[in-house]
Structure 1
Amino acid sequence: MTPRDWVADPADVLLADGTIAVLRTIRPEDRQGVLDLHEQVSEDTLRLRFFSANREAGRTYVAHLFDPDNTTSAALVAVSRGRILALATAEEIDEETAEVAFLVSDQDRGRGLGSLLLEHLAALGRRHGVRRFEADVLEENYGMLRVFRRAGFAGTRRTEEGEVAFVLRTDASQEAVDAADRRQWRAEALSLRPLLYPRSVAVVGVRRAAGGYGHGLLDAIRSSPYDGPLHVVHPEAVTIDGLAAVPSLAAIGEPVDLVVISVPGEEVAAVLRAAGEAGAGSVCVVSSGFAGRTAGAEELVATARSHSLRIVGPNSQGLLLNDPGLHLNATLLHEVPEPGGLGLVSQSGGMGFALLDMARDVGLGVHAFVSLGDKVDVSSNDVLGAWMDDDRVTAAMLYLESFGNALKFARTARRFAERKPLLALVGGRSRERLERGHSGVSGPGVGVDALLTQAGVVACPSGMTLCETALLLTEQPLPAGLRIGIVSNTGGLGNVALDLVDGQGLDVVAFSAELQAAIPEAVDGRNPVDLGADVSPERLEECVATMLASDELDVVLALLVSTRLTDRVELFAALGRARTTRPDKPVVLVAAGALADVARGIPGVTVYNTIVGAAASLGRAARYAEWRRVADDRPVVELGTRGEHARGWADTRLASRAGEPEWLPADAMTELLAPYGISLAGTVCPMEHAPRVAAEVGFPVVVKVAETTELHKADRGLVRVDLRRPEEVEEAVDQLRGAFGGDADVLVQPLLMGHRVGVGIVPDPSLGPLVRVAAGEGTTLGTWDDEVLLLPPVAPADAARAVRALRLWPALVGSRGSWAVDTEPLEALVVSVGQLALDVPHLDDLVVDPVFLDAEGVHFVDIKAHLSPPPALDAGIPRRLASQRRTSAKD
């Protein structure tokens, strides 16, 4: 066998108890530590590992591992605070197979070391071409059996004479990635508990004289209702602002959960080291001067890792921990929002403060705020993982400017959004375009759009929209559908709301005669309902209760203006009473201006002061609810026979052209795309045969020049539609010949009707090819204005959610007087295009537009495909998909 260089980069990992360890390849200096591990475990543990309690077996194996001539063994150790906790080894059997074994110290069992070592050993094996692991385990070795069963790696097991033989594949299956993520999220919750729920706090960096960040933070903490132990550390002062000071963290006499550091940048490392040595659980570094992966930032991370310490910052603006049992304000914010269920994470402290101010203005309750700063350690992924199973957090909101690990974010965000709402605002999306002059078909941030949409994140364009949408998602149940009923005490407001909610993709349904008859004394009982300016509280209550009871509606939107003809407080109370009749349906009230402040106390009703804010929030909530209703599944990243053929075909074609890119002609497109279910409707033929072919296709027909390099045929007069007789086809052919400048093949198609959509592949500079599904009248990518972007591979659930996210969706299911169609053929097409994007990276631009969707399925009217040399690949998978293993506790 060929010798392999079994070396793995050190990886910081979270253990099951929330502490930090480092996994790395063994080094010559580890010999004594590995020997001590074998010597110190119990005889029973030794027997489970070597099937014998003979300690000489352990010593012999250690000698084998550290033999300089040994080139067939891989070995990883887990190290924490300078001690080796566990060992994992792989002994080569052949070029593709290795036998694995694990030894965990007795005192470190139950910390998840076996699972982590198996995960990282598999990644090391994959890198060196090892496809299978084999392991023999005694039936009574319950811990190791559990590790193999729960790892998520595909494989087999066989039991014989008290031993269980496992054969595991090393490839990173979706199950293995999911299992690793679940372990990580559970560990994050424990690791970040001292940060998110601190029982004691120390502030380092407060001047004796007033002023500065340290003083501001100390004042904020003392002004908040936090009643846990608070310590201020100063090397010389006895008291600061009447609070007794201690000279060092060690002098406190016991570990503190949270240390807030606000010292000059050059002193941070020493304070961090002191915090670790004093046993602190977490630190929030407000000090700046560490942006980027500088030596100073790396020193902070290394110090924290060696003491199992979590860091927020540097350059953080602090933490607001608003839980009713905590009430800790360690920020410079003057006024904080009311307690609630929203968790807020912001990469920018200033933007975080602005969002908190907006949250307070709209009445949005906040559970916690974390200012990430330079995020050398704790990231949004980590905080979301900690909040994943925290019932006190009912929704989360993010302000981000960058993604450290986009794929990990997508997985974490998706799992979070499957459980509770996740909203995001991403700033700086146009920066790349402004700095690099980007002018491609993909607008600024389209990759971010794809990432968020596919993960179920409710993306918002502004801070106020973010807070308004979060208000609805934290206060109301998710709507069961898109049907909305509007009621007001003035018809003008109802008409304005009608246009706005319709523009958000909601369905303002026409009431049945029965429902109209049940609405009491309305000026207009249709939808929107106008109850008149003199509506009584009793009439409003009866009307709203009737609408909520109807199975024709999923949401009720009320619009009330204050007049001298009614008591507004009584009207609001009546609305609240009606709300109690159906707590499972969202009820939203728009009360303009100062009236909103009066209305905000209505139980169970979410109040907005503008129709625009209410309509946009309802639209986003409804689309998120549609996303949640789709059953989840997982894509399979696998290059099958179809994919191998398609990639080989593309390689050959490009080679024949010496790598020169091209827009594929019709016959070549058919060859490449037909196996993926994509082929043009109609028949390609010479111009002179068009009348005969049109008769065979069946009138009416469309005739167009078939030349695929013509990207805007309609603009050039190369398309003729609705031709109903052979003579019209002959005349059209003559016109096409003149417009084209000579003879050419033409495509004769039936005149198709149906819902018009478009599907394609577009490049993104950071994430690679994206799959695009769109609706509207556009025949080029640049004019699509109702679209969803997806990262391949596209799972069936991703495709179904994408189609439901289109504003066209209500029309597809028969709303607004349109005809309902089965959307499964369109969803299957999106999945197929996603697989095509993976299988053939040479296809850097694909436009399948328009596609007509009718009762019989999908019909392809126009296709354009551009082939060019592919980007660099890693084992047949685009680079952004190849790096799925977690290598550190941060992004």
Structure 2
Amino acid sequence: MSGVTDVVDVILRDGSTMRLAPPRREDVDDLRTFFTGLSQRSRYLRFHGSADVKDVWLRGLTEPDWAETGALVGWETGAGGADEIVALASYARLRDHEVAEVAFTVADADQGRGIGTRLLEQLAVRAGSTGIRRFVAFVLPDNTAMIELLANVGFTVAKRLEEGVIEATFSIQQTDAFLSQADRRDHEGVVASMRPFFHPRSVAVFGASSRAGSIGGSVFRNIVAGGFEGVVFPVNRDGTPVGGVHAYTSVEELPQVPDLAVVCVPGDAVLGVVEPVLRAGTNAVCVLSAGFAEIGPEGAARQARLLELIRDHGARLIGPNCVGVYSAAVGLNATFAPRSFPPGRVGVSSQSGAVGLALLERARDHGLGFSHFVSVGNKADVSTNDLLEWWEADEDTDVAILYVESFGNPLRFSRIARRVSRRLPVLAMKSGASAAGRRAAGSHTAALASSDAAAGALFHQAGVIRASTLEELLDTASLLASQPLPQGRRVGVLTNAGGLGILCADACSAAGLELPALAEETRRRLAAILPPAASTANPVDMLGSATPADYAAALEIVLEAEEIDAVIVLFVPTTVASAREIQVAVADAGPGRLPVLLCLVSDDTSVTSRPTGGVPLYGYPESAARALVHAAERAAWLQRKAGVVPALDGVDADAGRRVLADRVESGEGWLTPAEIAALFAAYGLPVVPERQAASADEAVAAARELGYPVVVKTALAGAHKTDLGGVALDLESDADVRSAAERIGGPLIVQSMIRGASAELLLGALHDPVFGPIVSFGPGGVFAELIGDAHLRLAPLTDVDVDELLTEGKAAKLVAGYRGTPPVDGDALRDLLHRLSQLAEDLPEVAELDLNPVACFADRVVVLDARVRIAAPPGRGSPKSW
């Protein structure tokens, strides 16, 4: 399979992967071999008879133009090491140009793996981009496999029987039902592909030796010391025993094919080790070796070749350049971590090996144990997305922790994380948050958006809890792993030191939590057990004389208070009680229906991180407050509706594409006002009436046609009109218009003057090279960047996303009516945001777009000015489809 383009890798039901690609002229012989190898029945079902396959027909399948014909073949590496075609799907456009006939063929030995479904998914994407809206398939009634495929793919299929053949017609639009089914297939395949990493029965460590400092030797010893339930084989070049264990020189010498291969040889020797391992039948490879993409072009080429080997054999790869993998379920510690992993119910994915090891060390202090630890390294194949899929299905994982430096497929991450976050909390720390990475940009939207802000929007929409530091990450994980979620933000505080209670109250308030007054009944019960000088307000100051019994009794009372959602217990050591005694008392008293957090300001070495009862421990009240607010936000997110993307009337995406087609071919740049008007008309964006003018006389004529007062401004593409002095407002006469036109010069726009708006807002969109289409919303006008309060969401926006935008930040005050101005038309503003979202999603050529200002009234919204920059859309980086 040489030189193919437009390839895509898919994951199949059994966890193997397959490369799909359009057939080339040089593939005709392989196509002929494929059809020749089909059984008589398969040929009959495909061709409705036993017709011979002609070379002219085979050649017609190659080099598809996608507009009239399309074809994809599935390739696998055969027993002899050569690539073989095992499946083919094709379509041909019919007279009705919105319809194409589609057909599939899968080799007999490969049927039942889900290949045909994957082919149909990918064909639909390509056909849909050319304006084809429906597929029709002609199926013999006894072709049960094809009938089942069409029934389960996620499209709505209309069938009719005519002359002994079923005609099945279906829309190929990617509906929610279709995407849900595609996600289900991805999930099933990914979980199957991860199983050999986390439940291997046998492991081979390549590069294991007894030499001091040997990474492979450390990995082998960790596997043995960790109590791995399977068998482990050390492999090194000389067959030298490792730790007294017989070693092998190659995979061919091993007594069995290992489920998992851990490769620790020098980078330039990795390919020579991995290729025979894959040929032997191993489907899971973890490469710890460095010397790949992280070192530059030479290493990147080596990494690309490694991934090509993995894909050719349908296998999966963790790494390269990683620390390894740990799985508590089978006692597997295939890492070179200096200490063993405490078993538990937290899954960890770290893009940095060093940060991952730091998490391991600090997790002990927080009483956290791991179900899995994966250092994904360079993420050549297995990524955080794959691990989230696994943890969603894994009954041994209750919390997922992610350390992320970059995203490979953030839109895919968003879809997975939204689903996984419904089952278990997902916590993340994303590095690279500084403003140094923000690019210089020409539009308000791009200046107000940064990669870090986009990552924040992604996490928010997906329900992922974002921490700013490793300590905050572990503090929150400790709470979520051990306590119920609070059902609100109301906190009760118990303390033996008034000053510490005040600090905790301030920390809670700063974090967005509340300390409500306690009910009279609660205060009466507390007063009955505490000294007269104690304060039964909130915080409850039990005084320095408080004993462990006082703490236990007071905690039980506050936990029963209906006005409280969570309790933070504070303690400063005294001669009356030790930190350890208080820790035990609190653990015995809670938790119940509410989460309990314990803050011990003590260096008592007898204090354990997780006593019986599992109450999480903190050193400072600020740490406890930050963890608790994350838990409260998670509880609120779980109550949040999933949201839907509404269907919009009056949108003509094809018309929008036609506006951009010619300009994109001529290179990137700012659209002219006329082009912007045509683009906005295609998406139904409300704009102010305007006319084009080339001279002062034409400007006067336009003003008369529109009616005074008017605005005159420059029509130069992409200009910040106010900065250039290119705007004249509130012109009441011909003389005013003529004077302004002569001063501004050049091509002009004349608009009706809009007065009396309740608010001016900025709505924007940009196509981020990593995160894709992003929509921004904030205060507008000339001070948009100065105010700097734009909020972001990744497109497509659901109704819930839009509702949240309207209630966030400073713009929310403008929407609700600020200082006596009437509230704006919320429905019209929501509609505009949805239309902008769809435009951004449909047209990746739109690199930046500003609607600034958008004038908002009580009964309508209208765009007063806009700038749109287009560029060639970024290409798809990886052929990986899941």
Q: Does residue 375 of the first structure (1) align with residue 384 of the second (2)?
A: no
The residue number in structure 2 matching 1:845 is: 850
Query: Which residue of 590, 599, 603 corresponds with 1:579?
Result: 590
Q: Does residue 418 of the first structure (1) align with residue 419 of the second (2)?
A: no
Could you say what the CA RMSD is over the residues aligned between the two structures, in angstroms? Answer: 4.7
Contact 1:623 1:805 (8 Å CA) reproduced: no
Unmatched tracts of structure 1, length 5 or more: 1-6, 652-657, 680-704, 713-717, 719-743, 814-819, 874-878
- Aligned counterparts of 1:830 and 1:428: Cα–Cα separation in 2: 29
The residue number in structure 1 matching 2:232 is: 230
Cα pair distance change 1:284/1:659, threshold 3 Å: closer
Q: Does residue 64 of the first structure (1) align with residue 57 of the second (2)?
A: yes
Query: Which residue of 586, 590, 594 corresponds with 2:599?
Result: 590
Cα pair distance change 1:518/1:824, threshold 3 Å: farther
Q: Does residue 78 of the first structure (1) align with residue 74 of the second (2)?
A: yes
Cα pair distance change 1:764/1:14, threshold 3 Å: closer
Shift of 1:826: 8.2
User: 1:600-749, aligned counterparts within 5 Å?
Assistant: 600-635=610-645, 640-641=650-651
Q: Does residue 558 of the first structure (1) align with residue 569 of the second (2)?
A: yes
The residue number in structure 2 matching 1:87 is: 88
- Aligned counterparts of 1:612 and 1:504: Cα–Cα separation in 2: 9
Q: Deviations over 1:82-106 (max 9, x none)?
A: 3432222223323332211222233
Query: Which residue of 102, 105, 111 corresponds with 1:103?
Result: 105
Shift of 1:252: 0.8
The residue number in structure 1 matching 2:707 is: none
- Aligned counterparts of 1:263 and 1:632: Cα–Cα separation in 2: 47
SS at match of 1:202: strand
Shift of 1:575: 2.5
Cα pair distance change 1:91/1:779, threshold 3 Å: closer
- Aligned counterparts of 2:382 and 2:774: Cα–Cα separation in 1: 29
Shift of 1:165: 2.8
Shift of 1:432: 5.7
Cα pair distance change 1:508/1:306, threshold 3 Å: same
- Aligned counterparts of 1:70 and 1:358: Cα–Cα separation in 2: 56
Q: Deviations over 1:649-705 (max 9, x none)?
A: 999xxxxxx9978999xxx9xx999976899xxxxxxxxxxxxxxxxxxxxxxxxx9
The residue number in structure 2 matching 1:143 is: 145
Cα pair distance change 1:424/1:826, threshold 3 Å: farther
Q: Does residue 402 of the first structure (1) align with residue 394 of the second (2)?
A: no
Letter in 2 for 1:78: G
The residue number in structure 1 matching 2:691 is: none
- Aligned counterparts of 2:128 and 2:833: Cα–Cα separation in 1: 30
User: 1:720-869, aligned counterparts within 5 Å?
Assistant: 760-761=763-764, 763=766, 766=769, 767=771, 770-772=774-776, 780-783=784-787, 788-800=791-803, 831=834, 834-835=837-838, 841=846, 844-846=849-851, 866-869=865-868
Shift of 1:205: 1.6
Shift of 1:603: 0.8
SS at match of 1:85: strand
- Aligned counterparts of 1:405 and 1:806: Cα–Cα separation in 2: 28
The residue number in structure 2 matching 1:450 is: 457
- Aligned counterparts of 1:511 and 1:826: Cα–Cα separation in 2: 41
Cα pair distance change 1:848/1:807, threshold 3 Å: closer
Query: Which residue of 108, 114, 120 corresponds with 1:118?
Result: 120
Letter in 2 for 1:19: S
Cα pair distance change 1:400/1:244, threshold 3 Å: same
Cα pair distance change 1:147/1:46, threshold 3 Å: same
Shift of 1:17: 0.3
User: 1:150-189, aligned counterparts within 5 Å?
Assistant: 150-153=152-155, 156-158=158-160, 164-189=166-191
Shift of 1:828: 6.9
Cα pair distance change 1:674/1:463, threshold 3 Å: same
The residue number in structure 2 matching 1:888 is: 880
- Aligned counterparts of 1:524 and 1:616: Cα–Cα separation in 2: 25
The residue number in structure 2 matching 1:247 is: 249
Greater mean deviation of Cα atoms: 254-263 or 843-852? 843-852
- Aligned counterparts of 1:422 and 1:801: Cα–Cα separation in 2: 21
Contact 1:771 1:833 (8 Å CA) reproduced: yes
- Aligned counterparts of 1:674 and 1:889: Cα–Cα separation in 2: 29
Contact 1:446 1:764 (8 Å CA) reproduced: no
User: 1:143-542, aligned counterparts within 5 Å?
Assistant: 143-153=145-155, 156-158=158-160, 164-207=166-209, 209-291=211-293, 294-321=300-327, 323=328, 325-430=329-434, 433=437, 440-443=447-450, 445-521=452-528, 523-542=534-553
- Aligned counterparts of 1:69 and 1:804: Cα–Cα separation in 2: 54
Contact 2:824 2:856 (8 Å CA) reproduced: no
- Aligned counterparts of 1:75 and 1:496: Cα–Cα separation in 2: 67
Letter in 2 for 1:497: C
Letter in 2 for 1:113: I
Aligned pair count? 793
Shift of 1:254: 0.8
- Aligned counterparts of 1:647 and 1:236: Cα–Cα separation in 2: 63
SS at match of 1:243: coil
Letter in 2 for 1:11: V
Shift of 1:111: 0.7
The residue number in structure 1 matching 2:739 is: none
Report the TM-score when normalising by structure 1. 0.77
Letter in 2 for 1:352: G
Contact 1:476 1:586 (8 Å CA) reproduced: yes
Greater mean deviation of Cα atoms: 640-649 or 99-108? 640-649
Letter in 2 for 1:87: L
Shift of 1:451: 2.3
Contact 1:447 1:764 (8 Å CA) reproduced: no
Contact 2:89 2:102 (8 Å CA) reproduced: yes
SS at match of 1:381: helix
SS at match of 2:13: coil
Cα pair distance change 1:169/1:435, threshold 3 Å: closer
Shift of 1:113: 0.9
- Aligned counterparts of 1:850 and 1:746: Cα–Cα separation in 2: 11
Identity %: 32
Contact 2:501 2:541 (8 Å CA) reproduced: yes
Contact 1:22 1:80 (8 Å CA) reproduced: yes
Query: Which residue of 21, 44, 49 corresponds with 2:46?
Result: 49
Letter in 2 for 1:342: V
Contact 1:636 1:793 (8 Å CA) reproduced: no
Shift of 1:403: 1.8
The residue number in structure 1 matching 2:6 is: 9
Q: Does residue 24 of the first structure (1) align with residue 21 of the second (2)?
A: yes
SS at match of 2:192: helix
- Aligned counterparts of 1:208 and 1:163: Cα–Cα separation in 2: 68
Greater mean deviation of Cα atoms: 285-294 or 762-771? 762-771
Shift of 1:519: 3.5
Greater mean deviation of Cα atoms: 126-135 or 260-269? 126-135
Shift of 1:44: 4.7
- Aligned counterparts of 2:629 and 2:377: Cα–Cα separation in 1: 32
Cα pair distance change 1:551/1:808, threshold 3 Å: farther
Shift of 1:245: 0.8
Shift of 1:195: 1.6
Greater mean deviation of Cα atoms: 207-216 or 608-617? 207-216
Letter in 2 for 1:91: A
Contact 1:627 1:801 (8 Å CA) reproduced: no
Shift of 1:516: 3.2
Contact 2:275 2:309 (8 Å CA) reproduced: yes
- Aligned counterparts of 1:104 and 1:233: Cα–Cα separation in 2: 39
Contact 2:440 2:447 (8 Å CA) reproduced: no
